[in-house]
Structure 1
Amino acid sequence: MKVVVDLTKCQDHGQCVFAAPDVFRLDDAGHLAYVAEPDESLRADVEDAADVCPLQAITIED
């Protein structure tokens, strides 16, 4: 699984951080940082994060 975030869309709302904290985080400057190839066991959390993103900036590639 590969996580792709369109950083031109992302506005660092952080909803993904709550949905999948093992994959997404906000750095010290408040900007999104993430694991591009997380473990498959985190798929459900990543799917939830993609669903709750207000700008639909997160996609999952297999």
Structure 2
Amino acid sequence: MAGKADEKNGACLEYRGHAINGGRQVKIVVIAQYARKTADGRYDARRRREDRRHHRLLQGHQ
């Protein structure tokens, strides 16, 4: 799958495609969340430790 998303809803990108295995074709839908938090707030990909350290250094903290 490559190129632009087939559907975009805020930070949610949806890609559609097909795969063939043994002569059988199946539809594939890939949903990518392009945000730090999910829309329902259940999951949060917090900043990486290095990012927090860099942020503190920029603010003058050590």
If the TM-score is normalised by the length of the shorter chain, which range does it land in? Answer: under 0.3
| TM-score normalized by the length of structure 1 | 0.21
Q: Higher strand share goes to which structure? A: 2
Q: Higher helix share goes to which structure? A: 1
Structure showing greater Rg: 2
Q: Which has the higher contact order (CA 8 A, sep 6+)?
A: 1
| TM-score normalized by the length of structure 2 | 0.21
